[in-house]
Structure 1
Amino acid sequence: MSAMKNILTKQLANWIVIEMKLRTYHWHVRGPQFFTLHAKFEELYGEAAGHIDELAERLLALGDNAVLSLAETLRNASVQESGGKESSEQMVAAIANDFSLLIEELRVGQSYAESLGDITSADLLQDIAAGLEKHVWMLNAYLGVPAQSAIRLASSAGE
């Protein structure tokens, strides 16, 4: 398996897990922030579905296969499934942390794609990372985490 395929497969797997996690949170969020978070999680799982399609199609365009099973997805993902018992704040923190981890992985993948001259993959990964940076800032603002800490969190997620 080529390194570029590994990078794209990992991201595809991550987004499949995150989409399911966001759907679970959307269905199970409770409390005073229900309406806000219910809508936000729906927005984010819709966005995740778009990333899943883009990443799978990029793999296919490169002559590779997309992940073929849920078992393969879970083997390749670096993010974890939802435990199902999180409070609304824990849900937001989990998504912010997942997105921070993905930013780090996407930046590594972008750099590698650029070194290969694969500008299409590099641009795809960069676009996803840029959107996630804004989401991490907003999710951490919701949690009351200062912006500087949110940036540190995103940049140290891969350490």
Structure 2
Amino acid sequence: MKNLVGIDKKKAEKLAVELNILLADYEIFYQNLRGFHWNIKGRDFFELHDKFEELYNDAFVKIDEIAERILTLEGEPLHTYTDYLKTAEIPEAKSIKDGTKCIEIVVKNFSTLITKERLILSLATDADDEGTVALMSDYIAETEKTLWMLNSYLK
């Protein structure tokens, strides 16, 4: 049995579950980035304040794209912080003001996200779900470059 967009319903359900996990992680990641943007202190304030804003704006777009992909697959996106906190692997980061510590957390969070994106890419490939494949491929390429740049900052 296939869904509206021609994907096997069972495979689409599994993808929706994994996409909801990714959605939850992106929501917590987004809020972590907002906190870093608001609370950063020190010599790198101007540089990191802008970088965290760039990153949370990107995460905001991805959150919407992921939720809409879940809906396209006939799933229901998570939409409460209760569900996000219960589902996400990325932990909340509270009251962190040190730039290096913030970047280390962002790198760790991106590493979590890219692992999940690769899993979803594999599942989507198996399901012949080109829409999700394209989305995850784009995210992975962006995340790899961002990880390289942030890691270079830490050196």
Per the normalisation by structure 2, the TM-score is 0.89
Shift of 1:124: 0.7
Q: Note the aligned Cα RMSD (angstroms).
A: 1.2
Between Structure 1 and Structure 2, whose CA radius of gyration is higher? 2
Correspondence for 2:84? 73
Q: Which amino acid aligns with 1:104?
A: T
Give the Å deviation of 1:6: 1.4
| Aligned residue-pair number | 144
Residue 24 (structure 1) aligns with: 35
Residue aligning to 2:24: 13
Q: Supply the distance in 1 between the matched residues of 2:74 and 2:38 (Cα, whole angstroms).
A: 37
Residue 137 of structure 2 corresponds to residue 126 of structure 1: yes
- Distance in 1, matches of 2:79 and 2:65, equals 16
CA separation in 1, counterparts of 2:111 and 2:62?
16
Question: Could you tell me the TM-score, scaled by structure 1's length?
Answer: 0.87
Task: State the percentage of identical aligned residues.
Answer: 34
Structure 1 unpaired stretches of 5+: 145-159
- 1:88 offset after TM fit, Å? 1.0
Residue of structure 2 in register with 1:107 after alignment: 118
Taking the aligned partners of 2:63 and 2:119, their CA distance within structure 1 comes to: 19
1:97 counterpart (85, 108, 126) = 108
Is 1:136 aligned to 2:147, yes or no? yes
Question: Is the 8 Å Cα contact of residues 117 and 140 (structure 2) preserved in structure 1?
Answer: yes
- Would you say the 8 A contact 2:15–2:120 is kept in 1? yes
- Which has the bigger relative contact order, CA under 8 A and spacing at least 6? 2
Matches of 2:109 and 2:41, distance apart in 1: 21
Unpaired runs of 5+ residues, structure 2, are 1-9
CA distance in 2, matches of 1:68, 1:142: 34
2:65 paired residue among 33, 41, 54? 54
Contact 2:40 / 2:96 at 8 angstroms: preserved in 1?
no
Dislocated runs of 4+, deviation >2 Å: none
Shift of 1:85: 3.0
